[in-house]
Amino acid sequence: MAMLKFKHNGVIIDRIIDITELALRDAHQSLIATRLGIDDMTGACEELDTAGYWSIECWGGATYDACIRYLNEDPWERLRTFKKLMPKTPLQMLLRGQNLLGYRHYQDEVVERFCRKSAENGIDVFRIFDALNDLRNIETSVRAVKAAGGHAQGTISYTVSPIHTTALFVDQARRLQEMGVDSICIKDMAALIKPQAAYDLVKGIKEACGPELRVHLHVHATTGVTLVSLMKAVEAGIDCVDTAISTMSLGPGHNPTESFIEMLEGTGFSTRVDMEKVLRVKSYFTNVLGRYHEFQSQVTGVETEIFKSQIPGGMLSNMESQLRQQGAGDRMKEVLEEIPIVRKDTGYVPLVTPSSQIVGTQAVLNVLMGRYKVLTGEFADLMLGYYGEGPGEKNREVVEMSRAHAKKEPITCRPADLLKPEWDKLRAEALALPGCNGTDEDVLTYAMFPQVAPKFFADRHEGPRNLGKDPVTGVSETTPAEGHQGAITGPITYSVTLSGHHHKVTVAPYQ
Can you say whether the dihedral through the CA atoms of 194, 196, 199, 202 is positive or negative?
negative
Least distance in angstroms from the C-beta of 297 to its own copies: 14
Closer of 85 and 492 to its own copies (Cβ): 492
Closer of 4 and 407 to its own copies (Cβ): 4
Closer of 34 and 223 to its own copies (Cβ): 223
Least distance in angstroms from the C-beta of 191 to its own copies: 10
How remote is the C-alpha of 49 from its chain's centroid?
Answer: 21
Least distance in angstroms from the C-beta of 171 to its own copies: 14
Distance, in Å, from the CA atom of 386 to the CA atom of 366, rounded to the nearest integer, reads 21
Distance, in Å, from the CA atom of 217 to the CA atom of 198, rounded to the nearest integer, reads 9
Least distance in angstroms from the C-beta of 429 to its own copies: 38
Residues 477, 481, 484: CA angle, nearest 5 degrees: 85
- Residue 73's CB is within 10 A of a number of other CB atoms, namely 23
Closer of 437 and 479 to its own copies (Cβ): 479
Closer of 100 and 261 to its own copies (Cβ): 261
Least distance in angstroms from the C-beta of 323 to its own copies: 16
Least distance in angstroms from the C-beta of 249 to its own copies: 7
Residues 87, 88, 94: CA angle, nearest 5 degrees: 80
Least distance in angstroms from the C-beta of 494 to its own copies: 10
Q: Specify whether the CB–CB gap between 162 and 145 falls below 8 A.
A: no
Q: Which of 33, 41, 26 is nearest to 479 (CA)?
A: 41
Q: Specify whether the CB–CB gap between 219 and 230 falls below 8 A.
A: yes
Q: Calculate Rg over the CA atoms of the chain.
A: 23
Closer of 179 and 507 to its own copies (Cβ): 507
Longest dimension (CA), the chain: 73
Q: Specify whether the CB–CB gap between 223 and 303 falls below 8 A.
A: yes
Closer of 29 and 445 to its own copies (Cβ): 29
- 93: which strand partners? 59, 126
Distance, in Å, from the CA atom of 478 to the CA atom of 71, rounded to the nearest integer, reads 12
Q: Is 368 exposed, middle or buried (0-12, 13-18, 19+ CB in 10 A)?
A: middle
Distance, in Å, from the CA atom of 387 to the CA atom of 355, rounded to the nearest integer, reads 9
Closer of 78 and 194 to its own copies (Cβ): 194
Closer of 17 and 145 to its own copies (Cβ): 17
Q: Distance from first CA to last CA of the chain, Å, rounded?
A: 58
Q: Specify whether the CB–CB gap between 508 and 491 falls below 8 A.
A: yes
Residues 115, 116, 122: CA angle, nearest 5 degrees: 90
Distance, in Å, from the CA atom of 257 to the CA atom of 81, rounded to the nearest integer, reads 24
Least distance in angstroms from the C-beta of 203 to its own copies: 5
Closer of 1 and 370 to its own copies (Cβ): 1
